[in-house]
Amino acid sequence: MDTFVFSLLNGTVYGLLLFMVSAGLTLVFGMMGVLNFAHASFYMLGAYFAYTLQGLIGFGPALVVATLLSGAVGVVVERWFLRRVHHHGHAHELLLTFGLSFIIAETIKLFFGNYPVDYRIPPALDFAAFTIGRQQVPAYRVLMAAVAIAMFAALYLLLTRTRIGIVVRAAIYKPRMAQALGHNVQLVFMGVFGVGAALAGLAGAVAGAFYTTNPNMALEVGVLVFVVVVVGGLGSLGGAMLASLLIGIVTSLAVGVDRSLADLLAVVGAGAWAQAVGGLMTLKLSSLAATLPFALMLLILLVRPSGLMGERA
Amino acid sequence: MLAVRSATHAALPLLALLSGLAQAAPVKIAVLETLSGPQASTGLAYRAAVRYAIDKLNASGGWNGQPVQLLEYDNQGGPAGASDKLKAAAADGVQIVVQGGSSAIGGQITEDVRKHNLRNPGKEIVYINVGAEALELTGEKCNFHHFRFAGNAQVRTKVLVQAMKQAQTLGTRVYSINQNYSWGQDMERAIADNAAAGGYQVVEKTLHDVNKIQDFAPYVAKISASGADTVITGNWSNDLLLMMKAAKAAGLKVRFGTVFLDQAGNIANAGEQAAGHFVAQTFNAEAAGTEGDRFVADYKAKSGHMPVATEPQTVFGLEMVAEALKRTKPEDGALNVNTLARNLETTRLKTPMGEASMRASDHQVLLPLVVSMVSKDAKYKADETDLGFKPVKSFTAEEASAPAQASCKMQRPI
Q: Which of residues 356-395 of B touch A (CB under 8 A)?
A: 383, 385
- What's the whole-number mean pLDDT along residues B315-327? 94
In the predicted structure, residue B281 carries a pLDDT above the cut 80: yes
- Residue of chain A with shortest Cα separation from B243: A211
In the predicted structure, residue B4 carries a pLDDT above the cut 60: no
Asked if B108 and B146 touch (Cβ cutoff 8 Å), the reply is no
CATH code for the part of the protein at B2-16+25-151+289-366: 3.40.50.2300
At residue B375, the 3 state secondary structure works out as: strand
Asked if B402 and B308 touch (Cβ cutoff 8 Å), the reply is no
pLDDT, position B21: 44
- List the domains of chain A with CATH numbers: 2-257+290-303 (1.10.3470)
In the predicted structure, residue A43 carries a pLDDT above the cut 90: yes
Q: Which residues contact residue B306 at a Cβ distance below 8 angstroms, ignoring those fewer than 6 apart?
A: B296, B299, B300, B380
CATH for B153-281+368-400, options being 3.30.360.10, 3.30.479.20, 3.30.565.10, 3.40.50.2300: 3.40.50.2300
pLDDT, position A132: 79
In the predicted structure, residue A214 carries a pLDDT above the cut 50: yes
CB contact under 8 A, A138 and B41: no
Quote the ipTM score.
Answer: 0.81
Asked if B201 and B172 touch (Cβ cutoff 8 Å), the reply is yes
- Residue of chain A with shortest Cα separation from B264: A115
Selection from A125, A42, A129, A115 nearest residue A78 by Cα = A42
A107 touches chain B (CB under 8 A): no
Residue B18 — pLDDT band, cuts 50, 70, 90? very low
Average pLDDT in chain A: 87
Neighbours of A36 (CB within 10 A): 31
Q: Calculate how close chain B gets to A137, using CA atoms only, in Å.
A: 6
Domain ranges of chain B: 2-16+25-151+289-366, 153-281+368-400
CA distance A67 to B204: 42
Sequence letter at residue B315: V
Q: Which residues contact residue A88 at a Cβ distance below 8 angstroms, ignoring those fewer than 6 apart?
A: none
CA distance A171 to A177: 8
A8 touches chain B (CB under 8 A): no
CA distance A70 to A205: 10
Q: Which of B242-251, B339-348, B362-371 has the lowest average pLDDT?
A: B242-251
Selection from B285, B256, B312 nearest residue B388 by Cα = B285
B153-281+368-400 matches B2-16+25-151+289-366 in CATH topology: yes
Query: Regarding predicted confidence, which is higher, A244 or A2?
Result: A244
B181 touches chain A (CB under 8 A): no
Residue A312 — pLDDT band, cuts 50, 70, 90? low
Q: Which of residues 206-225 of B touch A (CB under 8 A)?
A: 206-209, 211-215, 217-222, 224-225
The helix (H) or strand (E) run that includes residue B354 is: strand B354-359
Q: Calculate how close chain A gets to B37, using CA atoms only, in Å.
A: 9
pTM of this structure? 0.84
CA distance B266 to B239: 11
Terminal CA-CA length for chain A: 41
